[in-house]
C-alpha cells in the first residue's frame, strides 16, 4: 500500500469570534492555548487494471464538519488534482472540539452566535485542509499499514444513562458500563519504523468548558500534540514532522469526558477528572494517547483493499423498510424539527433557561395539538416537544442541512461508516452491525465515524429518542432517523460487497454566507512595547508572564506561524523553543478600554509555564503582530522582553 501524510494549521480568528459547540454568544475567542490542525492521510493501492484506488482521510480539529467546507475543499482539490479526490473517496471528519472559532458554516443556525459568516476563519480552515492534503499527496510512498484494537475505560462517561437504559438488553449488554471503550489504531510504518497513526475513540470534545475563550484542540488536540511534539519532537513551524498522529471520533453522541459531573457542587456544567478544565483536557488527552501508543506493537497487517461509496439522502423524506425499525413496521422520517430538550443543553453545557432535558410540560401540550392534527408528524417526531421547524426556516435561507452525505470507506479490513452527525454508542453499534453483517467483517473492524463531511446534529436510537434527553431532542429528523441511516448504510455496504456503483444522488445546494461583521478598525499605541516585563529569575513549573501593547490579531491570523516565541540564548543566537502551538504557552488578547480615545488600544498577555527539564539558561519572550494604521495600512511589528534566567 502507498500512504501519504500531511499536516497544516487551520486556526481561525483568535479575537472576538463566537466559538462553536456550546451555542453561547458571549463565548468569544480571546486568544490561543493550542493551535488547531488538519491531518490528512492518503491510502492508495493498484486496482488490477493498471490504475489505482485511492482514499483520502482528513481529521480536522474543528467543532463541526460543514458541507460548505467540504464543498470548497473538493473544489480546490479538483483545481489542483483533477478527479483524484472527489465526494466518494474523500472523508473529512472533525474532532468536535468545543474550543474553536465558529462562523465558517454554510447554514445560518450555526452562525447566529458568531455575528454571521467569518470569511477569514473559513479561509484559514479551507486553506489549511487543502494544504494538508497537498502535503499528503506529495508524501505518498510504500508503507506498511496495520490495525489494532484495545479498550479505554477512564476517558468517557455516559451523560444520558436514562436514555441508554431504554435500549434492549442485547444492545445494553454490548456496553455493560454504558460507555464504548473500544479504541482503534491504524499504524503507518516505513522500513519498520512508525511514521503515522490514526486513533479512533468516542468521547466528546468538552473538557474545555463553555467559560473558556481560548482556542484549543481540547482533549483530542492534546493527544495528537503530545504524541507529535512531546514524544516525537515535532517542530510544527519547521515543515511536516516525521511522525503524524490524528485522533478521530467514532460514536460519542452520549459520551462525555467530564467524569465528575455529579460531584461538582454549584455547577451546571460538568468537570472531571479534576476541577481544572486545562488539566482535564491534558489528562483525558493523555489517556487517549497512552491507549493508542500501547497498541503500536500489537497491530497486525490491515490488508491492501481500498474502496469507497457515498450517496446523498434527503433525510426528511426516507421511507424506512420494516427490517430496519425496532417494531418491524414501515415508517417515514420527518422534516427537521428542533426539540425543547435540545434548547435545554446538556450536562456538559447548559442551554437556555426555562427548558429542561426530558419533558417540558408547556411545550409538550402545544406540540400534542399539532400531533393530533397530523398523524404523519406524530409518527415521525412524537414525543418531541417542538420549538421550531427548521424546514420552514430553510425556505427563507439555508438554516440547517436536509440533503446529507452518507459514506462507506474501506481501508484493508477496516470499514468506516461516515455519518454527518453525532451518533450515540448504541446508534453506532446498530450501524456497525448492519454493515458488518453484509460485508462479513469482524464487528471490531467496522467503525461508525461521526462528524463527517456535513452536520445534522444527533443520531439516537428510537428507544433513546423516546426519553427526549438532549440527544433525542437534537435528533432533527425524528424517531426513525437512525433506521433511515441504517438502510442507507446497508445499501452502500451491499454495493461495496458486490462491486457495484451507487447513485450519488442530488448534491445539496449552496450554503449561506451572509455576515454582519465589521472589519477591525485602526489600532492605537506603541505596538510591541513591553508593558510588563518578566521577573529576572524563574524555576521549572513557574509561569512567566509579559504584556505588550498590541493590535487586533485578526488582521493577520499568522496561519503556519505564531504570535509568540519563547527564545533561549544559544551561543550568540536566540533560538525558538516554544510558540503559540505549544501546550506550555498561552496567548491572550484584550481591548484596553471602551472610551472612544481608547477604542483601538489593546494588550497581548503571553504566559509560559516552564516545563520540567527545561535547560537552565537565558530566555526572552517575543510577540509578533500586525497593526492597522490610518496612514500606512497593515504594519507588522515585533516586541521583545528583557532577558530572564531559568535556573
Burial of 139 (0-12, 13-18, 19+ CB in 10 A): buried
Q: Is the pLDDT of residue 342 over 70?
A: yes
pLDDT at position 349, please? 76
Confidence of residue 595 (pLDDT cuts 50, 70, 90): very low
Q: Is the pLDDT of residue 270 over 70?
A: no
- And the C-alpha cell for 290? 497512552
pLDDT at position 389, please? 87
**CA-angle at 505, arms to 502 and 510, nearest 5°:** 145
Structural domains of the chain ordered from first start: 2-311+402-498 (no CATH), 530-646 (2.60.40.2300)
* Closest by CA position to 503, among listed 312, 342, 351, 345: 312
* pLDDT tens-digit readout, 359-382: 787 888 888 898 899 999 999 999
> Could you tell me what percent of the chain has a pLDDT over 70?
97
Compute the average pLDDT of residues 231-245: 95
Compute the average pLDDT of residues 82-104: 97
- And the C-alpha cell for 32? 490561543
Q: Is the pLDDT of residue 268 over 90?
A: no
Half-sphere exposure of 283 (CA within 13 A, CB side): 18
pLDDT at position 597, please? 45
Q: What is the pTM of this model?
A: 0.96
How many CB atoms lie under 10 A from the CB of residue 420?
A: 27
Q: From residue 420, how far is each of 105, 253, 322 by CA, in Å?
A: 14, 12, 23
Average pLDDT, the chain: 94
* pLDDT tens-digit readout, 63-76: 999 999 999 999 99
Compute the average pLDDT of residues 613-618: 97
Q: From residue 621, how far is each of 104, 487, 638 by CA, in Å?
A: 32, 57, 11
Return the percent helix, strand and coil in the chain, to nearest 5: 25, 30, 40
What letter would DSSP give residue 262?
G
Distance CA 391, CA 408 (A): 27
Q: Is the pLDDT of residue 263 over 90?
A: no
* pLDDT tens-digit readout, 27-62: 999 999 999 999 999 999 988 788 899 999 999 999
How many CB atoms lie under 10 A from the CB of residue 384?
A: 29
pLDDT at position 594, please? 58
- And the C-alpha cell for 95? 474532532
Amino acid at each position: 500500500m502507498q500512504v501519504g501524510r500531511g499536516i497544516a494549521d487551520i486556526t481561525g480568528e483568535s479575537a472576538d469570534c463566537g466559538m462553536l459547540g456550546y451555542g453561547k454568544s458571549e463565548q468569544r475567542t480571546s486568544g490561543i492555548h493550542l493551535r488547531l490542525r488538519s491531518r490528512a492521510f492518503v491510502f492508495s493501492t493498484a486496482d488490477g487494471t493498471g490504475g489505482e484506488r485511492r482514499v483520502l482521510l482528513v481529521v480536522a480539529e474543528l467543532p463541526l464538519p460543514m458541507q460548505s467546507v467540504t464543498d470548497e475543499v473538493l473544489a480546490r482539490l479538483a483545481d489542483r488534482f483533477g478527479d483524484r479526490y472527489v465526494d466518494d473517496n474523500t472523508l473529512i471528519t472533525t474532532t468536535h472540539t468545543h474550543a474553536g472559532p465558529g462562523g465558517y458554516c454554510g447554514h445560518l443556525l450555526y452562525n447566529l452566535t458568531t455575528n454571521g459568516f467569518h470569511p477569514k476563519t473559513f479561509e484559514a480552515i479551507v486553506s489549511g485542509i487543502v494544504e494538508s492534503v497537498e502535503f499528503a499527496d506529495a508524501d505518498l510512498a510504500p508503507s506498511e499499514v496495520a490495525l489494532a484494537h484495545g479498550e479505554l475505560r477512564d476517558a468517557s462517561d455516559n451523560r444520558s444513562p436514562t436514555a441508554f437504559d431504554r435500549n434492549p438488553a442485547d444492545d445494553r449488554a454490548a456496553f455493560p458500563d454504558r460507555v464504548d471503550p473500544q479504541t482503534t489504531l491504524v499504524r503507518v510504518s516505513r522500513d519498520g519504523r512508525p511514521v503515522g497513526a490514526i486513533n479512533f475513540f468516542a468521547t466528546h470534545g468538552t473538557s474545555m468548558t463553555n467559560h473558556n475563550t481560548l482556542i484549543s484542540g481540547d482533549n483530542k488536540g492534546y493527544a495528537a500534540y503530545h504524541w507529535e511534539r512531546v514524544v516525537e519532537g515535532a517542530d510544527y513551524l519547521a515543515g511536516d514532522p516525521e511522525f503524524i498522529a490524528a485522533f478521530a471520533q467514532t460514536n460519542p453522541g452520549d459520551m462525555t469526558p467530564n467524569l465528575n459531573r455529579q460531584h461538582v457542587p454549584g455547577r451546571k456544567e460538568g468537570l472531571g477528572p479534576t476541577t481544572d478544565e486545562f488539566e482535564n483536557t491534558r489528562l483525558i488527552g493523555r489517556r487517549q494517547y497512552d491507549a493508542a501508543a500501547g497498541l503500536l506493537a500489537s497491530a497486525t497487517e490491515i490488508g491492501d483493499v481500498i474502496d469507497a461509496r457515498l450517496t446523498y439522502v434527503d433525510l426528511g423524506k426516507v421511507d424506512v423498510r420494516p427490517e430496519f425499525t425496532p417494531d418491524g413496521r414501515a415508517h417515514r422520517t420527518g422534516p427537521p424539527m428542533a426539540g425543547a430538550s435540545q434548547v435545554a443543553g446538556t450536562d456538559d453545557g447548559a442551554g437556555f433557561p426555562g427548558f429542561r432535558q426530558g419533558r417540558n410540560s408547556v411545550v409538550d401540550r402545544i406540540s400534542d395539538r399539532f400531533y393530533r392534527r397530523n398523524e404523519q408528524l406524530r409518527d415521525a417526531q412524537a414525543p418531541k416537544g417542538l420549538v421550531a421547524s427548521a424546514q420552514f426556516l430553510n425556505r427563507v435561507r439555508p438554516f440547517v442541512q436536509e440533503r446529507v452525505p452518507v459514506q462507506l470507506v474501506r481501508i484493508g479490513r477496516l470499514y468506516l461508516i461516515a455519518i454527518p452527525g453525532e451518533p450515540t454508542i448504541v446508534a453506532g453499534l446498530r450501524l456497525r452491525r448492519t454493515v458488518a453483517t453484509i460485508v462479513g467483517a469482524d464487528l471490531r473492524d467496522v467503525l461508525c465515524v461521526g462528524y463527517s463531511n456535513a452536520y445534522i446534529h444527533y443520531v439516537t436510537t428510537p428507544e433513546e429518542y423516546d426519553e427526549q434527553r438532549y440527544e433525542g431532542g437534537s435528533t432533527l429528523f425524528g424517531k426513525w432517523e437512525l433506521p433511515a441511516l441504517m438502510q442507507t448504510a446497508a445499501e452502500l455496504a451491499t454495493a461495496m460487497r458486490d462491486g457495484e456503483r451507487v447513485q450519488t444522488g442530488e448534491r445539496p445546494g449552496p450554503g449561506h454566507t451572509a455576515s454582519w461583521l465589521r472589519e477591525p478598525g485602526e489600532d492605537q499605541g506603541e505596538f510591541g512595547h513591553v508593558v510588563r516585563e518578566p521577573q529576572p529569575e524563574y524555576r521549572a513549573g513557574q509561569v512567566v508572564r509579559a504584556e505588550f501593547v498590541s493590535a487586533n490579531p485578526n488582521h493577520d491570523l499568522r496561519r503556519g506561524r505564531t504570535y509568540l516565541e519563547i527564545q533561549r540564548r544559544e551561543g550568540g543566537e536566540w533560538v525558538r523553543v516554544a510558540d503559540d502551538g505549544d501546550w506550555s504557552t498561552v496567548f491572550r488578547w484584550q481591548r484596553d478600554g471602551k472610551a472612544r480615545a481608547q477604542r483601538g488600544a489593546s494588550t497581548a498577555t503571553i504566559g509560559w509555564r516552564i516545563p520540567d527539564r527545561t535547560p537552565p539558561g537565558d530566555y526572552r519572550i517575543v510577540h509578533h503582530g500586525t497593526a492597522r494604521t490610518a496612514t500606512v495600512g497593515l504594519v507588522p511589528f515585533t516586541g521583545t522582553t528583557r532577558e530572564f534566567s531559568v535556573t
